[in-house]
Structure formats: C-alpha cells, structure tokens
Amino acid sequence: MKGKVLVVAPDRKTRGGITSVINSHENSVFWEKWNCVWIGTYVDRNALFKIIFFLQGLIVFLVQLPGTKIVHIHFSEPTSAIRKYIFLLISKLFNLPVIVHFHSFSAKTTISGKKKDLYKKIFNKADAIIVLSNYWKKQVEQIVIKPGKIKVIYNPCPEVKQKSDLLKQKTILFAGTLNERKGYSDLLRAFSKIAAQFPEWKIVFAGNGEIELAIKLSISLNISNNVIFKGWISGMEKEKLFNTSTIFCLPSYAEGFPMAVLDAWAYGLPVITTPVGGLPDVLIHGKNALVFQPGDIDMLAENLKELMTNVNLRERLADASLMLSSNLFNIKTISSQFDELYTSIL
C-alpha cells in the first residue's frame, strides 16, 4: 500500500501499558499492511533526556510526514496530552486525518481535571477517537461535539507462541507497578488473613514501584516468607512466571484496560480482579473471573481462599480466560477493527 501511518507513542523501550499494546500491534497484519511507523516521543529517563528525546521524536515526525496518510496518536495523562497536542496541531496544518487513542485510567486527572479544556480540544480536533471500553466512551461523549466518531477498540491479548509444560506452582501472581492505584497492599492484607491455612502458597509480585514499602508491610503482617518480589520482568522470565503461576490477582482501583489481565487471559490463568475501567464490559463473577469491589479486603480474602481450594473452579476460569484471549481480545480481531477504521477515515 502506498503511503504510511505514523504512530505517535512512547518509545518502544519504555515500560508501561501503551508500549505493550503497540508491541502487540506491531506484530499484527494491519501494521505491515498500512506501513505503520512508530514515532517515539517519551522515554523513562531524567527530565533533560526526556526533553531531548521529545525533540528528536518531533524531528523524526516532521521528516516522516511526506507520504503520510494517517496520524495515529496514543496519549493518556496530562503531560502526555500536552506533548501529543503539538503533533495533532502539526498534522492538521498538513491537512492529515488524525486518530487519537485515549489510554487514561482516571477521568479525574484527565477529562474532568485541570486540563479538561485541553482534552476537549484534542478530541474535537481529531477525526476519530479510540477508547478502551464502553465506560470510557460514555465519559468522552460528554465533551465531544460529534460523539459518533468515538470507537471502542479493546487492547489485545498478547500472542503466546509456545505453551510451557512446566509444572504449576502454588503461587498467586500480581503483575504491574506497585502503587496505591494497583492495590498491591490490599492483596498483602487479604492474604495475611488466610496465610496460616495455606503456608505452602506464595504471592509473587512482578513490577517496579513501592517495593521497599511492600516488603515492610509483608513483614508487619508476618507473611514475608510467603512473598516474593521480582521487580520489572520481561521476555523469557515473564513467560516462565505466567506459565508456572496458578492464580492471577489485580486488585486495582482504576484502569483503562489493564494489560496485566490481558496477559493472564493469554496464558490461561484464572483471574481475581476488580470491576474498574473496561473490565466491567466483559467480567462475569464466577463465569470468567472472581470479582470484588476495590478495597474490599475481606471479599478478596474469600475469593483467594475459594480459588486456592477449588481446583474445578480454577480450571473453569482458566478455560474462560483462554476463550476471551482467543476471541474478543484476539489480536486478529483487534487488527480487523483497526483496518476498518483506517479505511473509513480515508
């Protein structure tokens, strides 16, 4: 196909959900079909390096503009929106169609926050808006003049190329940044309520963040021998951890559509999580996940105990996870939706 699509997003080496999403897209059919070019504009470094990297990304963007058919901009929180607004304005100067892809986890910090006017400008200048769930569609509709241009396209599950024959271990896996929003401390407190009944079980935390605070909390709860902190993992280490874990738990208070849950579905793990962000679109308690309200530590403890003791339930939820990853959240399904959107916008 003649022409190309410029995908403006964080650098491919940056840790985070948006990067994981675009990594999945990059390996799909539509990426090659539309000649997509990844333009990195943000990197996990110090403030000066971030500025230099942004300016480099802007130069690359300007050089790549000739022959461009569509500009696809990924953004989330206010600092991201400020950076991406510049690319949006430049694209419009060259009369290029722009898709803005909104990944935020909180309306309070974005479309209802101090920069709400900026978000309103971004959405109304764009030719199409992608949001991650029906919840976010309803939120964005409130500030968009033409709500018909809002499309719900879910994040895809990653493709698991090879299933492992490694034995499952009695581990509960948490993957993501250890911070208050992700609810890691709730998982520790919930497990501490039942730890004496399950001395052989462990919680494995895979992610950076408040690790030192988490270690102190596990000590104070007398469960430090049952908790392992892996830090940020990727590649073969990540594959091994997902393949050998028995349960996945993400007790988040706010999300866009959590890539960690999508990972768990792809590896066929039974999931315990909260109905936040885009998850209520698909979660059915007892059918494809165990669901509890954010902050309800007692219910989380009950869900953990139920799944740790009920092998049949674990197997049913594992099958449901694989079904979700192979159908609604399959990369081929998502790719066809992007293909239709790109075609319609031209």
Q: Across residues 103-126, what is the average pLDDT?
A: 95
Query: Residue 102 and residue 108: Cα distance in Å, rounded?
Result: 14
Among 211, 191, 193, 190, CA closest to 201: 191
- Global pTM reads 0.90
- Predicted confidence (pLDDT) per residue in 322-337, tens digit: 999 999 999 999 999 9
Q: Give per-residue pLDDT as tens, 255-296.
A: 999 999 999 999 999 999 999 999 999 999 999 999 999 999
Is residue 104 a contact partner of residue 76, using CB atoms and an 8 Å limit?
yes
User: Which CATH superfamily, name and number, covers 171-326?
Assistant: Glycogen Phosphorylase B; (3.40.50.2000)
**pLDDT above 70: residue 219:** yes
Mean pLDDT score, 26-43: 93
Q: Cα–Cα distance between 178 and 203 in angstroms, integer?
A: 13
d(CA 287, CA 219): 35
Using DSSP's 3-state secondary structure scheme, residue 228 falls into: strand
**Angle (CA) 243 271 105, round 5°:** 110
Which residue's structure tokens are 């901009």? 73
Q: Where are the domains of the chain?
A: 4-156+331-345, 171-326
Side-chain-side CA neighbours of 195 within 13 Å: the count stands at 18
pLDDT of 173 strictly over 80? yes
Overall fold of domain 4-156+331-345: Rossmann fold (3.40.50)
Q: Do domains 4-156+331-345 and 171-326 have the same CATH topology?
A: yes
Look over the chain and give the mean of its residue pLDDT values, rounded to a whole number. Answer: 94
Predicted confidence (pLDDT) per residue in 133-171, tens digit: 999 999 999 999 999 999 999 999 988 755 556 678 999
Q: How many other β-carbons are positioned within 10 Å of the β-carbon of residue 213?
A: 14
